[in-house]
Amino acid sequence: MNHDGSSMTNDLAFDAWPRWSPDGKRIVFASNRENKTDYEIYLMNANGNSVQRLTELHGRNTSPKWSPDEKKISFDHAAQGECDIFTIDAPRKQGIHLAALSGRFVSHPLSCRPKSRHL
């Protein structure tokens, strides 16, 4: 993997914005591997296996961050001049839940406070 997170996988797409899960077993990242225009959020095992797409939103979904308890993943979403912060449940059998957390203008970096449920 390059220092900017690119080349995390053998895919020819731009894979970037990697974040290790707090337990070190998984990596969440953004990639344009589906259509080279939109960036979606993906999850894979630390060894690079089992890449799973977590989002299906048009636009740029980037900069994913884990919650300290590994139950949620937050990320930036930009589309049609609007910017938001979204959160999804970390993958479970019951699927993915999306909830908007902010309004139009988002500043970065987004992070979770240690041992807290607050961004």
Predicted local distance difference test score (pLDDT) of residue 103: 47
**What's the pLDDT tens digit per position in 52-84?**
999 888 889 999 999 999 888 989 888 887 788
Q: Is-contact 41 30, C-beta < 8 A?
A: yes
**What's the pLDDT tens digit per position in 76-117?**
888 887 788 888 888 754 344 444 544 444 444 444 444 444
Average pLDDT estimate for 23-33: 93
Domain count, the chain: 1
CATH of the domain at 28: 2.40.128.650
Q: Return the number of other C-beta atoms located less than 10 Å from residue 89's C-beta.
A: 15
Residue 9 falls inside a structural domain: no
Rounded to two decimals, the pTM is: 0.72
